[in-house]
Amino acid sequence: FIRFVVLINYPLYIRSVPTQGELKFHYTVHTSLDVVEEKISGVGKALADQRELYLGLLYPTEDYKVYGYVTNSKVKFVIVVDSSNTSLRDNEIRSMFRKLHNSFTDVMCNPFYNPGDPIQSKAFDSIVSTMMVQAC
């Protein structure tokens, strides 16, 4: 499974492949935010931390990896993937984040989109769908 979340401290966009069991992921994403903040406020690291965490959230029961990405405008992208899905390498995750970022930029360019609104762009959705298909 895989899950994409775009948020600015509150979710702007959430998309999961298996649409069930989302609560668990909500919680995971929320906790991962703390880690993200921690990293952002860190030393003058490049804000675009593509790979944020391989969380120790590898509970025996729930093993999944959470990746984070922050843009210069503090927009955070979070991807949660199943640990059993070992086919996803770091590079792939990075490319996914890049695509997400590009799509998000396109959405931002739309004058009809108010930053802070939930993202309802079909183009964005299609790109996320494509990535989900690739990942799963």
Q: In this chain, which of 73, 87, 120, 130 binds another protein, going by CB under 8 A?
A: 120
Transcribe the chain into DSSP letters: -EEEEEESSSEEEEEESS-S-HHHHHHHHHHHHHHHHHHHTSSS--S--S-----S-B-SS-BEEEEEEE-TTS-EEEEEEETT-TT--HHHHHHHHHHHHHHHHHHHH-TTPPTTSPP--HHHHHHHHHHHHHH-
Least distance in angstroms from the C-beta of 104 to another protein: 12
Least distance in angstroms from the C-beta of 105 to another protein: 8
* 73 part of the interface to another protein, by CB under 8 A: no
Size of the site for another protein (CB under 8 A): 13
The footprint of another protein on residues 100-119 (CB under 8 A) is 105-107, 109-113
The nearer residue to another protein, 15 or 39, going by C-beta atoms, is 15
Q: In this chain, which of 8, 47, 58, 123 binds another protein, going by CB under 8 A?
A: 123
Residues engaged in binding another protein (CB under 8 A): 105-107, 109-113, 120-123, 126
